[in-house]
Structures are given as structure tokens and as C-alpha cells.
């Protein structure tokens, strides 16, 4: 069997990368619940690796914001609040707008085919598996960042996408992931046509919609009387 390859470099994945990838998927798919403890020995035993490799993988996940490393207590799956989620999406929208503008002129025929294929896979899974759709959606954005050829931008987009994926898994309300696939398709076609402003606007709107679907839109404070009026109608206090 051919060795597993790293998505970004095409080189074989190290053992640390494989453990990191597996843990990342388990967290984003919420197989490992937010706040769960992540003992190095249990991770090493599960994957048949050393505690050193487990520690390195957890360190990478901490950089991505998926794991909290607490001194004298150990590693835990991150447990971001809704307020944290709103802040993460604000940063991500700014980063990915810059990313899209940098991509103009870099989408050749091979890149276009790759992006269209990714969107097709995402659309095919949309109705069947929300967790997998979240993962594929994240991969789409990371692929765009990779295509810019800007290592620093890739690093920051990777971190924000990882954090947003966890927020979506925790707080996302049920919806058809086909919405995201259609939005991705529109972004791809704008990039292929060289429409920088259009692609940037589409990306910004797409991330705003994703945040909205994740219950991250700001809550409007209601007057207590408005809230209780419906309940009051159902009881008789005479």
C-alpha cells in the first residue's frame, strides 16, 4: 500500500501528522466532546505510538485552537463559547477576503478542475453526513489558501478554519450543507473568470451565511414583557 500523503506538500505523512489528523477529525466530528481530557498515554496506546508523538500532535492541535493545554492538568478538547465563535468568524472573514484577492490570476486549468471536483464531492455528501460536509468545507478553504503560495496566510487560515469547524460542530443548527457547496461553486467560478471583487464579495457573504447558520448571529435583547406575554395568556391568575 502506498504511504499516506500530506495534503499540502505531497510528501508521506509522518506518524505525528497521522495522529494529528486523526485527532483533528475526531474533535471536529465531535466524537471527542468539547472539554474531554486527552491523556497522552491513552492516545499513544490507541494509535500504537509513543507519548512523545501524542504530545507533539496535541501541541499542533493547540496551535490550531482545537486543544487547550492546561499546566499541571494536561490536554483537553477546546470548548469555545458562542462569543468566541463570533470573534473567530470576524477574523476569518478578513483573512479570507485577502486570500481571495491574492488568488486572482493563479487559478489555472488544473487548479480549476481540482476546485470543481472538491465542490462536486461536497455537494454529493451534503444530504448524507453533516460532519463530513463540515470537514470537506474546511478542506476547500484550506486548498484556496494553499493555492495562494503564501505560507503565512496558509498558516493563519488553517488555524481559523480549524477553530470555526469546531464551533460549527458544536453550535451549528441542522441545515442542508448543499447551501455551502453552492456558495463554494459561485466563488470558484468568480475566481476562474478573474472577477476579484466579485469573488471577495461572495466569500464575505458566504462566511456571513455560515456564521448565521451556526447560530452565531447577534441575539436581540427582548423586553421581558414581550417574552412573557405568550405565557401569561395561558394562565389564569384571577
Average pLDDT value for residue range 50-70: 93
- Residue 88: the pLDDT is 92
Q: For residue 41, what are the contacts with CB-CB under 8 A and spacing of at least 6? A: 51, 54
> What pLDDT is recorded for position 237?
46
Q: What pLDDT score was predicted for residue 134?
A: 72
Q: Which of 108-117, 148-157, 158-167 has the lowest mean pLDDT?
A: 158-167
Percent of the chain residues past pLDDT 90, beyond the cut: 43
Which residues 6+ apart lie within 8 Å of 220 measured at CB?
A: none
Q: In whole angstroms, what is the distance from residue 204 CA to residue 221 CA?
A: 26
Q: 117-156: per-residue pLDDT in tens? A: 999 988 887 666 666 777 788 889 999 999 999 999 999 9
- 112 touches 188 (CB < 8 A): yes
Least confident of 12-26, 69-83, 132-146, 212-226: 212-226
The pLDDT value recorded for residue 169 is 79
Encode pLDDT of 174-232 as tens digits: 554 557 889 999 999 999 999 999 999 999 999 998 888 766 544 444 443 454 345 44
Q: Is 194 left (phi over 0), alpha (psi -120 to 50) or beta?
A: left
Most confident of 8-22, 35-49, 58-72: 58-72
Q: What is the pTM of this model?
A: 0.74
Say what the pLDDT of residue 8 is. Answer: 47
Contact partners, residue 89, CB within 8 Å, separation at least 6 = 164, 167, 207, 210, 211, 214, 216
Calpha distance 185→182 (Å, rounded): 5
Amino acid at each position: 500500500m502506498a504511504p499516506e500523503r500530506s495534503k499540502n506538500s505531497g510528501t508521506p505523512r509522518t506518524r505525528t501528522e497521522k495522529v494529528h489528523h486523526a485527532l483533528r477529525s475526531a474533535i471536529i466530528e465531535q466524537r471527542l466532546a468539547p472539554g474531554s481530557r486527552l491523556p497522552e498515554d491513552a492516545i499513544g496506546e490507541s494509535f500504537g505510538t509513543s507519548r512523545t508523538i501524542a504530545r507533539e500532535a496535541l501541541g499542533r492541535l493547540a496551535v490550531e485552537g482545537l486543544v487547550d493545554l492546561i499546566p499541571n492538568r494536561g490536554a483537553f478538547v477546546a470548548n469555545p463559547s458562542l462569543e468566541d465563535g463570533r470573534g473567530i468568524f470576524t477574523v476569518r472573514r478578513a483573512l479570507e477576503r485577502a486570500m481571495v484577492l491574492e488568488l486572482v490570476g493563479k487559478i489555472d486549468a488544473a487548479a480549476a478542475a481540482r476546485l470543481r471536483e472538491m465542490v462536486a464531492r461536497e455537494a454529493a455528501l451534503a444530504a448524507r453526513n453533516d460532519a463530513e460536509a463540515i470537514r470537506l468545507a474546511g478542506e476547500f478553504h484550506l486548498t484556496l489558501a494553499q493555492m495562494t503560495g503564501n505560507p503565512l496566510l496558509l498558516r493563519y487560515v488553517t488555524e481559523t478554519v480549524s477553530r470555526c469547524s469546531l464551533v460549527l460542530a458544536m453550535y451549528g443548527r441542522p441545515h442542508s450543507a448543499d447551501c455551502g457547496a453552492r456558495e463554494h461553486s459561485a466563488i470558484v467560478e468568480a475566481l476562474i473568470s478573474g472577477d476579484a471583487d466579485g469573488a471577495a464579495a461572495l466569500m464575505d457573504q458566504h462566511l456571513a451565511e455560515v456564521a448565521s447558520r451556526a447560530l452565531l448571529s447577534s441575539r436581540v435583547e427582548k423586553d421581558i414583557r414581550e417574552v412573557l406575554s405568550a405565557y401569561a395568556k395561558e394562565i389564569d391568575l384571577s
